[in-house]
């Protein structure tokens, strides 16, 4: 018998088994809240409570995980917490991490698997003043003081500089705090920023020359999506060992992915409600800042051309290529580093519930920022 045919049959049976396991004897019951028992699940975030994680908070607070028979505890992240290591150690059931950071940990021995690629695009920018002459071209960072957070956040920047022909030593890499004060004080020429967070911090600050808030026209941005060194970011990671050995965990994974993606669909369609969910969970950031962040996060997720959470092979390959060519990864990961099996099963469940999982009509909104993000 043809080996390719056999492999195809095995893959099909595996996918069907995943959905059948998640659905039990009645597929319609999955996600309906009809539970014989409830499974406790822990999720480690990679940063503090903010709209970057709104879909998970909304799924908890609005009872969406309950519909999947899950009791989910969300653990806040911080500078000294490495989510993928928490997952690999067995301290948590799932973790949110950027793909390149997780792949480095995986290469170092962490048995973790990407089971849902939530962010479809990179949100990382390098921000400078419009009058600095840097513009949108990384080549113009030559001879400049370039801010960066480190901790694996430098991969896109370093690759972009390399591809632009900017030699090591021809610019000064400056350790940057997780804010924009060094740029605002003109201590550095370009600052690293997430479009949903630090970039907004500049637009929330008052220009001393005008007495008004800074505007986008005061700034120039290098967007790594445009440059071609963008890397996949927030994804849901699961334990590879447990996926391989524990049918109950595989079932939980499908339900957790489904509940999480339903949370993100809720935030797409009910952004204000999700901002409130984040604020209710103790975010230190103000309302207008969170509204900006929610809008930009949605813009990283939607539209999802292959369906929410699906891992696009081309985007994955670019991420791996950037990481290996820069030396951050020694070699490309094996094929077990990610799987679409669980997200495909989850999307089948969501589609059966009539939930729109592509977001094809999504358009970002105009958000007004207030001073200090209030």
pLDDT at 286: 96
| Cis status, amide bond into 303, omega within 30 of 0 | yes
Measured CA distances, 230 to 153, 321, 323 (Å) = 12, 11, 10
pLDDT band at 24 (very low <50, low <70, confident <90, very high): very low
Instruction: Name the β-bridge partners of 309.
Output: 117
Q: Domain check: are 216 and 299 in the same one?
A: no
Cα–chain center distance at 129: 27
State yes or no: pLDDT of 53 exceeds 90. yes
pLDDT given for residue 4 in this prediction: 35
Residue whose pair of structure tokens reads 């059948």 in the numeric block: 20
Residue 23's pLDDT is: 44
The sign of the dihedral angle between the CA atoms of 178, 290, 135, 137 is: positive
Contact 105, 255 (CB under 8 A): no
What CATH number does the domain containing 238 carry? 3.40.190.10
**Residue indicated by tokens 């929330």:** 204
**Residue at a domain's end among 192, 209, 227:** 227
Per-residue pLDDT band at 15 (split at 50, 70, 90) = very low
Q: Are 310 and 338 in contact (CB under 8 A)?
A: no
Q: Say yes or no: 90 and 38 in one domain.
A: yes
Residue 131 CA to residue 117 CA, distance in Å, equals 37
End of a domain among 172, 198, 227?
227
Domain end position, chosen among 198, 227, 256: 227
CB 222 within 8 A of CB 138: yes
Do 146 and 215 lie in one domain? The reply is yes
- What are the tokens at 110? 């962490």
Q: Are residues 104 and 204 in the same domain?
A: no
Domain that holds residue 161: 124-227
Rounded mean pLDDT of the chain? Answer: 93
Average pLDDT of 213-240? 98
Instruction: State the pLDDT at residue 151.
Output: 84
pLDDT of residue 373: 98
State the average pLDDT over residues 165-180: 96
Q: Rounded to 5 degrees, what are φ and ψ at 331?
A: -155, 160
User: Is the pLDDT at 9 greater than 60, yes or no?
Assistant: no
Tell whether 106 and 238 lie within a shared domain: yes
If you average pLDDT over residues 238-246, what whole number do you get?
A: 98
The predicted model gives 215-242 an average pLDDT of 98
CA Rg value for the chain: 21
- pLDDT band of residue 152 (cuts 50, 70, 90) is confident
121 close to 69: Cβ distance less than 8 angstroms: no
Number of domains in the chain: 2
Q: DSSP string covering 32-54, please?
A: TT--SS-EEEEEE-SSSSSGGGH
Measured in whole angstroms, the distance separating CA 24 from the mean position of its chain's CA atoms is 30
Residues 265 and 216 in one domain: no
User: pTM of this prediction?
Assistant: 0.92
- Both 320 and 268 in a single domain? yes
CA 52 – CA 264 distance, rounded (Å): 10
Helices and strands (H, E) in the chain, number of each type: 15, 10
The answer on pLDDT for 18 being more than 80 is no
115 Cβ contact partners less than 8 Å away, ≥ 6 residues apart:
235, 236, 237, 238, 243, 253, 257, 338, 339, 342, 343
Q: Are residues 160 and 267 in the same domain?
A: no
Q: Are residues 315 and 276 in the same domain?
A: yes
Q: Nearest-5° angle of CA 181, CA 187, CA 188?
A: 95
Distance, CA of 353 to chain centre: 25
The tens digit of pLDDT for each residue in 276-308 reads: 999 999 999 999 999 999 999 999 999 999 999
Kindly state the average pLDDT of the residues 156-162.
95
Same domain for 181 and 242, yes or no, is no
Question: Nearest to residue 92, comparing CAs of 228, 197, 272, 238?
Answer: 238
> Where does the chain have alpha helices with state H?
3-23, 54-61, 64-67, 83-88, 99-107, 155-163, 181-184, 198-203, 224-227, 240-245, 247-269, 271-280, 287-301, 313-325, 341-352
The separation between the first and the last C-alpha atoms of the chain, rounded to the nearest angstrom, is 66
Do both 238 and 361 map to the same domain?
A: yes
Q: Are residues 292 and 214 in the same domain?
A: no
């Amino acid at each position: 018998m043809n080996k390719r045919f056999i492999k195809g049959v095995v893959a099909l049976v595996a996918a069907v088994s995943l959905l059948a396991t998640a659905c039990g004897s009645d597929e319609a019951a999955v996600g309906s809240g009809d539970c014989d028992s409830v499974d406790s699940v822990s999720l480690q975030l990679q940063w503090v409570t903010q709209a970057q994680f709104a879909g998970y908070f909304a799924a908890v607070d609005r009872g969406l995980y309950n519909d999947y028979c899950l009791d989910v505890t969300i653990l806040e992240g911080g500078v000294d917490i490495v989510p993928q290591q928490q997952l690999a150690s067995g301290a948590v059931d799932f973790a949110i991490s950027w793909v390149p950071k997780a792949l480095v940990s995986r290469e170092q021995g962490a048995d973790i698997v990407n089971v849902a690629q939530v962010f479809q695009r990179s949100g990382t920018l390098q921000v400078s003043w419009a009058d600095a002459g840097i513009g949108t071209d990384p080549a113009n960072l030559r001879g400049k003081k370039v801010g960066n957070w480190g901790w694996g956040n430098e991969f896109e920047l370093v690759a972009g500089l390399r591809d632009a022909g900017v030699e090591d030593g021809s610019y000064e890499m400056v350790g940057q705090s997780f804010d924009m004060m060094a740029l605002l004080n003109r201590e550095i020429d370009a600052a690293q920023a997430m479009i949903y967070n630090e970039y907004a911090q500049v637009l929330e600050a008052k220009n001393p020359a005008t007495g008004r808030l800074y505007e986008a026209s005061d700034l120039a941005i290098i967007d790594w999506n445009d440059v071609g060194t963008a890397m996949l970011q927030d994804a849901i990671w699961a334990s590879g060992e447990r996926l391989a050995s524990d049918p109950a965990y595989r079932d939980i994974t499908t339900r957790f992915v489904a509940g999480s993606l339903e949370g993100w669909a809720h935030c797409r369609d009910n952004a204000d409600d999700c901002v409130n969910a984040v604020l209710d969970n103790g975010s230190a950031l103000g309302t207008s800042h969170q509204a900006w962040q929610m809008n930009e996060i949605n813009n990283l997720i939607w539209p999802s051309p292959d369906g929410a959470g699906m891992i696009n092979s081309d985007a994955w390959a670019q991420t791996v290529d950037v990481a290996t060519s820069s030396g951050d990864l020694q070699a490309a990961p094996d094929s077990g580093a990610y799987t679409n099996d669980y997200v495909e099963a989850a999307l089948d469940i969501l589609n059966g519930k009539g939930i729109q999982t592509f977001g094809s009509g999504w358009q970002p909104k105009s958000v007004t920022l207030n001073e200090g993000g209030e």
